[in-house]
Chain A
Amino acid sequence: MKIIIIGDGKVGHTLAENLSKEGNDVTIIDKDPEPLKKASEYLDVMCIKGNGVSTKVLMEAGVKDADLLIAATTSDEMNMVCCLTAKKLGAAHTIARIRDPEYASELSVLKRELGLDMVINPELECAREIGRVLSHPTAVEVEPFAKGRVELVEIKVTGNMPVAGMKLKDISAGINQSILIGAVQREGEVIIPNGESRIEENDMINIIGRPVDVHDFCSRVVPDSNRVRNVMIIGGGRVAYYLAEYLEEAKIRAKIIEIDRDRCYELSELLPNTLIINGDGSEETVLDSENLGDMDAFVAVTGRDEENLLTSLYARQRGVNKVVAKINKITYASLIKNMGIDSVVSPKQITANGIIRYVRGLKNAMGNPVETLYRIIDGKAEALEFIAGQSTKFLNIPLKDLRLKKGILVAAIVRKNEIIIPHGKDVIKPGDSVILIVKDQRFSDFNDIVEPGGIPNEL
């Protein structure tokens, strides 16, 4: 794939490194010659000095036949303009980094009007990542889908879980969340289950649904002992805000310690269910008086890496179960790994990972009309995203009336901002993106998923 990256900062560099290693043709554009020099020495990429907004520079970088353009400069506005220009000049896909929360609310409008294929917000992604770590303590792997609106969580079923030994239809009858168990991995075999399938001990089950619902389900089935119920967050920046929002939704109680009084007021307005404490989170007394030792989890997301690491170490010493620290610079990674902090998250790394995952999906989907394609469960099954259009033959037909081919599961229907975990009565409408879980087969046409003659009244 031909990829152009604008902005050779940390995210740009990480992206270039990973994408070029995966065999893509990467061109980097930056105004500053210094980082470009480093990139040209250490990476197999082409470097162009210039302003990524300029048409001339973009043309020089070969935007005409570029498959993807990623704008990752420090300015949101510049990223948007870059993507807009590139799209007009012929780039097939564009990704912009937009981090200002002011834009976050208008994201869907921006995306539509600017023709952006993906918007990535480092702080939001970071908060989500921390949230996932906290809310799925037993989860083996958490995979976001449909740009984060759908989540796929892999859980290992242990003997003390109530779902062990139950049939799927009984499980879904017992809960009111709309989640779906999409694939079951048993002794290395992948099973696409139906209502009659039974969950057994030691199965790895893949649960699909809205993040909140998935979390609800997990908290129901996971035994009490390892659940996180309350969290202390140090630092009240953007990450803390997004995280607290996530935790509020997931019904995890959180308290934020922030040093700046004005910011505290702001936060308390924005987050009604979160306790905001005005104090210096790096002070032992403040932490102790807020009974740090009784917390289930501790998250350090201040702007300073050293402070985050040290307070995390202190929390660990005080016996907090789960400790997460945010760092911006990923140096001395091997040192940090041995410090005893459960998770170290870096917004830049997460941003890069998010984009790389998207690019992989895009690459896999290239050459067929699949919107995105993810390999799941070690590549043993695939999750495909199709967009239903006018050519789709089974629009507005209840799913229970369709005879799908074996090994296919309609896992989710994304209709604008609505996520539907389909049941028999649900229908596919034009414009929906439909997520399918497929085992052992490949599809190039959405219409192929039904058996011949599987659509009622076809004649």
Chain B
Amino acid sequence: MNYRMIFGNLGTVLCIEAALMTLASIVSAIYGQDDVYAFLISIAILIVVGFLLHLLKPKDGQMYARDGFATVALSWLFISLFGALPYFISGAIPTPIDAFFESVSGFSTTGATVLTDIESLPRGILFWRSFTHWVGGMGVLALMLAILPSVKANTVHMLVAESPGPTPGKLVPKLGQTVKILYVIYSAMTALQIILLIISGMPVYDSVIHALGTAGTGGFSIRSTSIGAYNNVFSEVVIAVFMFLFGTNFALYYRMIRGNLKSCLRDAEFRFYLGTVLVSTVLITLDLTGKVFGSFWEALRHSSFQVSSIITTTGYSTADFNLWPSFSKAILMLLLFIGASAGSTAGGIKCIRIVLLMKLVRREVHRIIHPRSVYTVRINGKAVDEDVLSGVTVFFYAFMCIFAIALLIVSLEGKDMISNFTAVATCIGNVGPGLGIVGPMGNFSSYSVLSKAVFTFCMIAGRLEIMPVLLLLAPTFWKKVNI
């Protein structure tokens, strides 16, 4: 463990967070609300702490995988802690655990909220809330790598630990260049969505907020009834399409820019992702027509939005799907686990892992029929490494274990099963709304402090895909000589 390096990097991350918060304070100043002081105090604290940590210079500059993972896990914990300061100081969220919950929910792009009266909050705070989605979506350390001029080769471990998917890779040989490309694509798409939303008739401030929430696949809205409050089909279509787009692997966009459209459409994960969205939409639409909505088109409008919202783990809603028939609800719950593509801003298990797991099952069946057969699992015509496959199965098991343990703890409170189940699932999958009391029109405020702590843990674990967080929990990891 190279504590000096880890905390040195942590200092840099906090300084970057201070810079990001400055943007929120500007927004706050523009609207002239009194939350600007909360931001200024938070920024001052961040700069002092960040700068002091930043002064730590590592004796040994070599970063090993364990250091990279630890940097990522600790960074996420710290930025969430410090990101909660404005909520707490401004008095928008008076209890510390609630403020922390909201902050983690923001950075992990979950979008679960404890706020009951969102519309009354100052605009700077609301902007910061959604802005954390945007930053958390692509990753804070990725942002650091993109901004800092001297990216060392071995910092690739940080990217591996932070970006979602079983095999995070580079787009171009240079790591710094890779994250820059990702952020440029990300920013450009966000800007495009803001413009389209403004054209659709949404107010400018609301457009920005919802575009930020869509880009990070987060789902914080400034209306308690989410997108449904606008009742604007054009806006809904824009958001639904962009949610889908932000849930697609960004590497595909890079390939598309390079003129390789065909290979994108042939990508196994993308096909699975698209197929799941289409099939789910059709099934839910058929289920809803006549039962909830009178016309087929009305059903299609809401089902397509909801499918896109849940599979990309965004969590916006146009209707209260809590009231939908149980077949539709079941599909949405399953989508919540699947999640979108690797290399996107979405959470969940990710389509690529589901595809690999299905192929693994097929291989096992195949092995029973032909015990001596040699069978390589392939994706896009390329054999997948056995290491990756075992990583996927282990991830799936760890995901389910954390889900189960969290569910047990949360159930101590005695709330109903559906609410608890979906609340934990929605947190670990970084979606936001669940069913029952945490449904699209509800929130998490009624849970106890213990449960909220469990939810925050689930959100960070889900965003970082379990392993970096588990690493922090391993006792040997903290020892100077780890054997």
Contact = CB atoms under 8 A, between A and B. Distances in A.
Interface string B144-186: 0000000111101100000000000010111111000000000
A20 B153 contact: yes
Interface residues of A, number: 13
Contacts of A27: 173
Contact of B65 (A25, A41, A46): A41
Contacts of B152: 44
B385 interface: yes
A44 B158 CA distance: 13
Most chain A beta-carbon neighbours within 10 Å: one of B170, B173, B176, B385: B173
A25 B385 contact: no
A321 B418 CA distance: 86
Contacts of B65: 41
A40 interface: yes
A33 interface: yes
Interface string B373-407: 00000000000010000000000000000000000
B476 to A, nearest CB: 21
A40 B156 contact: yes
Contacts of B172: 25, 46
A15 to B, nearest CB: 13
Nearest to B381: A56
- Interface on chain A toward B: helix, strand, loop, or mixed SS? mixed
A45 B385 CA distance: 20
User: In the complex, which range does the number of interface residues on chain B fall in?
Assistant: 10 to 19
Nearest to B176: A44
B153 A46 contact: no
B173 A41 contact: no
Contacts of A42: 153-154
Interface in B76-118: none
A400 B20 CA distance: 68
Interface in A419-453: none
Interface in B113-160: 151-154, 156-157
Nearest to A56: B381
Interface string A4-38: 00000000000000001000011100000100000
A44 B174 contact: yes
B154 A25 contact: no
B353 to A, nearest CB: 20
A43 interface: yes
B176 to A, nearest CB: 8
A120 B295 CA distance: 75
Nearest to B177: A25
B156 A41 contact: yes
A18 to B, nearest CB: 12
Nearest to A4: B173
B154 A20 contact: no
Given A25-B172, A46-B172, A41 B154 contact: yes
B173 A20 contact: yes
Nearest to B382: A49
B157 A46 contact: no
Nearest to B385: A33
Interface in A41-75: 41-46
A33 B385 CA distance: 9
Contact of A26 (B154, B173, B176): B173
Contacts of B174: 20, 25, 44
A26 B153 CA distance: 12
A59 to B, nearest CB: 10
Interface in A287-331: none
A164 B154 CA distance: 52
Contacts of A40: 156
A46 B173 contact: yes
Nearest to A23: B174
B5 to A, nearest CB: 16
A43 B385 contact: no
A284 to B, nearest CB: 43
B175 A41 contact: no
A32 to B, nearest CB: 12
A445 B391 CA distance: 58
Contact of B153 (A25, A33, A44): A44
A44 B170 CA distance: 10
A43 B63 CA distance: 11
B153 A43 contact: yes
Given A25-B172, A26-B173, A27-B173, A44 B385 contact: no
Interface string A264-287: 000000000000000000000000
Contact of B156 (A26, A33, A44): A44
A47 to B, nearest CB: 9
Contact of A45 (B157, B173, B176): B173
A25 B151 CA distance: 13
A25 B173 contact: yes
Nearest to B155: A44
Nearest to B170: A46
B382 to A, nearest CB: 8
Contacts of A26: 173
A50 to B, nearest CB: 9
A376 to B, nearest CB: 29
Given A20-B173, A33-B385, A44 B151 contact: yes
A263 to B, nearest CB: 43
Interface string B337-361: 0000000000000000000000000
A27 B152 CA distance: 16
Contacts of A20: 153, 173-174
A42 B65 CA distance: 10
Contacts of B173: 2, 20, 25-27, 44-46
A60 to B, nearest CB: 10
A45 B151 CA distance: 12
Contacts of B175: 44
Contact of B157 (A2, A25, A33, A41): A41
A102 B76 CA distance: 60
B41 to A, nearest CB: 39
A45 B154 CA distance: 10
Most chain B beta-carbon neighbours within 10 Å: one of A41, A42, A43, A44: A44
B158 to A, nearest CB: 12
A428 B136 CA distance: 65
B401 to A, nearest CB: 28
Most chain A beta-carbon neighbours within 10 Å: one of B65, B151, B156, B385: B156
A39 B369 CA distance: 39
A370 B242 CA distance: 50
A25 B176 CA distance: 11
16 contacts: A20-B173, A20-B174, A25-B173, A26-B173, A40-B156, A41-B154, A41-B157, A42-B153, A42-B154, A44-B152, A44-B153, A44-B174, A45-B173, A46-B170, A46-B172, A46-B173
The 9 closest A-B CB pairs, nearest first, are A44-B153, A46-B173, A25-B173, A43-B153, A45-B173, A44-B175, A26-B173, A46-B170, A27-B173
Interface of A: 2, 20, 25-27, 33, 40-46
Given A2-B173, A26-B173, 14 more contacts: A20-B153, A33-B385, A41-B65, A41-B154, A41-B156, A41-B157, A42-B153, A42-B154, A44-B152, A44-B153, A44-B176, A45-B153, A45-B173, A46-B172
